[in-house]
């Protein structure tokens, strides 16, 4: 029996199988490097341990030691760059694949628009929409004799 993760893999866009783990690894590396740098300063160490207060610790590190604090900032920036450029590339590839699939269906003569799909054949006696109370509803919103829209 397949696990839910292995069932999810074919549904991911092309490239996402590498974008997600690489971004997470870079974010984790930035967090760990900010902890390693902040340990030397006891006041910033507590802020660096928690991901929500980590930016406060990084701002403190910039104030105290600018050169070392660029390591986690660079890793975070690299993670953002990987995430956004990779997702843009993945979106572009999936969109091109969708357009190619759609043109293939059009070339085969398959209907694409809902208006091109023929409706089911319904016996007039069994048509529920031909009820006398529902006929005025089907006419609502259509232009009348004076081309005014019905209310």
Q: Among all chains, which residue has been given the structure tokens 């993760």? A: 5
For the segment 111-136, the average pLDDT, to the nearest whole number, is: 76
Contacts of 93 (CB under 8 A, 6+ apart): 13, 14, 15
* Secondary structure of 47-80 in HEC code, one letter for each residue: HHHCCCCHHHHHHHHHHHCHHHHHHHHHHHHHHH
Amino acid 64: pLDDT: 82
pTM beyond 0.75, yes or no: no
Amino acid 95: pLDDT: 93
For the segment 26-40, the average pLDDT, to the nearest whole number, is: 91
Radius of gyration of the chain (CA): 30
d(CA 43, CA 63): 13
Q: Are 87 and 81 in contact (CB under 8 A)?
A: no
Amino acid 96: pLDDT: 93
Residue 100, pLDDT > 70, answer yes
Instruction: Indicate the SS3 state at residue 133.
Output: coil
Please enumerate, as own/partner, the contacts of 63-72 that have beta carbons within 8 Å and a separation of 24 or more.
Answer: 65/37, 68/37, 69/34, 69/37, 71/30, 71/33, 71/37, 72/30, 72/31, 72/33, 72/34, 72/37
Least confident of 13-17, 19-23, 33-37, 95-99: 13-17
């Amino acid at each position: 029996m397949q696990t839910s993760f292995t069932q999810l893999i074919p549904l991911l866009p092309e490239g996402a199988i590498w974008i997600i783990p690489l971004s997470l690894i870079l974010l984790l590396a930035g967090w760990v490097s900010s902890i390693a740098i902040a340990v030397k300063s006891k006041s910033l160490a507590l802020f660096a341990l928690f991901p929500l207060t980590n930016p406060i610790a990084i701002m403190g590190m910039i104030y105290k030691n600018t050169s070392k604090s660029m390591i986690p900032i660079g890793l975070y920036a690299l993670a953002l760059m990987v995430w956004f450029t990779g997702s843009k590339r993945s979106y572009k590839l999936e969109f091109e694949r969708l357009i190619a699939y759609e043109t293939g269906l059009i070339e085969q003569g398959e209907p694409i628009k809902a208006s091109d799909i023929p409706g089911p054949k319904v016996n007039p006696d069994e048509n529920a929409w031909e009820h006398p109370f529902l006929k005025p509803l089907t006419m609502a919103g259509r232009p009348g004799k004076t081309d005014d829209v019905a209310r």
